[in-house]
Structure 1
Amino acid sequence: MGVVSTEPSTSADPHEVLGYLLKHATLKLTALTDAALGPLGIDSKDFGALRVLAHREPTSQLQVAQTLGIDRTTMVALLDVLERKGIVTRRPDPADRRRNVVELTEQGMRTYDAARVAYGKAESAFLAALSPNATSQFRRTLRTLLEN
């Protein structure tokens, strides 16, 4: 096995810079997923919230924000839009009226089910150049980088 350099590239080519590659891979994936989710009236940010809510009992909007790694202000704005679309409902938490409890509506569950399929197809298109083993390794590598 060869030695892998951990030194930053001195090349002028931005394709040699890890940050550039990660940013542009994210932009490409987001463009694909947003295009796939658009006909459902949502985008990839909305899908993240729907995914969290679909796998939990009614939960606080703060817990959703923490799970997604976004700030409260951004979460409130995102939920405002989803609530106007009839995808989520918010109500005061009976145990702590300072908190809002959020949950998917029936329409929200239908939207999530369709979005899961659309997102999966877009993600598969993004990863099409990789073999299944390379895709699994790519995911493991990204998780390792994010966890450390």
Structure 2
Amino acid sequence: MVPGVPFRGDPNGPMIGHGSRSSVWLMVSEVYAARMKDEGPPDVLSRRLGYLLKHAYLAMAAEMEAALAPFRLLPRELGVMAVIAASPEQPSQLEIAARLEVDRTTMVGVIDSLESKGYVERHRSDRDRRRNVVTLTPAGRVCLTEADEARERVERDFVAPLDEESAAALSEALLTLHLSRTGAARARLTATAPCTGPAPDAPAPRPTPEHPPRTPEHSA
């Protein structure tokens, strides 16, 4: 655990980065400036976290796509393969989509693409023949190992302007922000969900002549 960074998975940690939110901006700006070579962001935008995150992401995405091109993979396809490989049980398309927080239609397209490349296959579950699941093929497992090594090289190079502790802190800070926004989104959905029935402690409706209380003979 990096000093000053909340424990992994805690969306309510009090600190981000090395004790303050400004450190996130500082680390992202250093990475951004390095990717821009001799040019930095315009002064008016140099302290806008959204601008820095966006352009740092665009630079990294371009480098990642180039690194994965020899494997005929897009970054999101590599992510899907990693989730399949890490699943304790054979996952369905819907389960993969839920874990990656993408819609069903998008996931169908990604799985179709991977299947056409021979990296995954759809079939009946070994444990429950009623379930359709997705698994890696032997070629897919080899591809995942080699492509993941390429991904790691890109990520190491991308954060090279930061020292090891700052790079780890940046990853932890971004994870904390992601988890906090995911939690906030779920809370908003729960708060705005329509009521589907009376509250657990709501009083029972009073009997009326049209609806007398039920007795054993009425319940038979």
1:87 matches 2:125: no
Q: What residue identity is the alignment partner of 1:54?
A: A
1:118 matches 2:143: no
1:67 matches 2:123: no
Higher helix share: 1
Q: What residue identity is the alignment partner of 2:114?
A: L
Q: Percent identity?
A: 39
1:53 matches 2:88: no
User: How far 1:147 moved relative to its partner?
Assistant: 1.7
Higher strand share: 1
Aligned residues: 140
Counterpart Cα distance in 2 of 1:22 and 1:76: 29
Gaps of 5+ in 1: 6-10
Q: Which has the higher contact order (CA 8 A, sep 6+)?
A: 2
Larger Rg: 2
Q: What residue identity is the alignment partner of 1:72?
A: R
Gaps of 5+ in 2: 1-19, 23-41, 181-220
- Corresponding residue of 1:32: 63
State the 4+ residue runs in structure 1 displaced beyond 4 angstroms.
none
For residues 133 and 12 of structure 1, do their structure 2 counterparts lie closer, same or farther at Cα, with a shift above 3 Å needed? Answer: closer
For residues 12 and 128 of structure 1, do their structure 2 counterparts lie closer, same or farther at Cα, with a shift above 3 Å needed? Answer: closer
Q: What residue identity is the alignment partner of 1:103?
A: T
Q: TM-score, normalised by structure 1?
A: 0.86
1:44 matches 2:44: no
Counterpart Cα distance in 1 of 2:129 and 2:158: 43
User: How far 1:12 moved relative to its partner?
Assistant: 7.1
- Corresponding residue of 1:133: 165
